[in-house]
Amino acid sequence: MASLKLGDTAPNFTANSSIGIINLYEYLGDSWGILFSHPADFTPVCTTELGTAAKFKKEFDLRNVNILALSVDGVDSHLEWIKDINEVQNTFVDFPIIADEDRKVSDLYDMIHPNADNTLTVRSVFIISPDKKIKLTLTYPASTGRNFYELLRVIDSLQLTANHKVATPANWQNGENVVVSPAISTTDAKTIFSKGVEEIKPYLRMTPDPTM
């Protein structure tokens, strides 16, 4: 399967998971989604990532994001591993972990990179919008745990830019000034953005976050 690109429709699937059989589209409903893969159960970095994801659940809920993890081990293994995660990370994993023993979902989403590892998934992230489009992809090697603050930050940017004609600059954090979309003239921008527009260069115009 060719790798998924931004703007592609997220392929639907039905798979077994730590909470039973789930269908991706039904699980996501009208929410945003994050599908993220883990190389294997009972591995140290993955344990910290899943514990962190559980601790961030409230933040994902606030943003209307349903999270869904995947590893190529089976349900029984996932359930035992979740006990460990809850214990060592002092949390409660209540989102599903797909048990992708036959690599069906991993192949569909191109999560196995054979030159990194022939059988285990890399650390892929797919952010899916409510219309089931792929909005962001990230790929990390097994040796590097992901930054969940960055996932929240990018969700904030995706949700803001989906509704307003703005883009977010480097290292932007929720609430900071944003960039006026290049497609809008400065004259139009001054009408659209009532909080003001600063023209630093004709192509670089800043405005306060329109949602604040």
Size of the site for ligand BEZ (CB under 6 A): 8
Range in contact with ligand BEZ (rule: CB under 6 A) among 42-50, 71-79, 101-109, 192-200: 42-50
CB-CB contact of 27 with 116 (8 Å): no
Q: Quick one: 22 or 82, whose CB is closer to ligand BEZ?
A: 82
Answer for which of 10, 33, 36, 39 binds ligand BEZ (CB under 6 A) is 39
Rounded least distance, CB 140 to ligand BEZ, Å: 11
Q: Quick one: 121 or 129, whose CB is closer to ligand BEZ?
A: 121
By CB under 6 A, tell whether 43 contacts ligand BEZ: yes
How far is 96 from 113, CA to CA, in rounded Å?
Answer: 23
By CB under 6 A, tell whether 125 contacts ligand BEZ: no
DSSP calls for 88-132 = HHTS---S-EEE-TT-HHHHHTT---TTT-SSS--EEEEEE-TTS
Which helix (H) or strand (E) segment holds residue 37: the answer is strand 32-38
By CB under 6 A, tell whether 45 contacts ligand BEZ: yes
Angle in degrees, CA 199, 200, 202, rounded to 5: 65
Answer for which of 8, 14, 25, 40 binds ligand BEZ (CB under 6 A) is 40
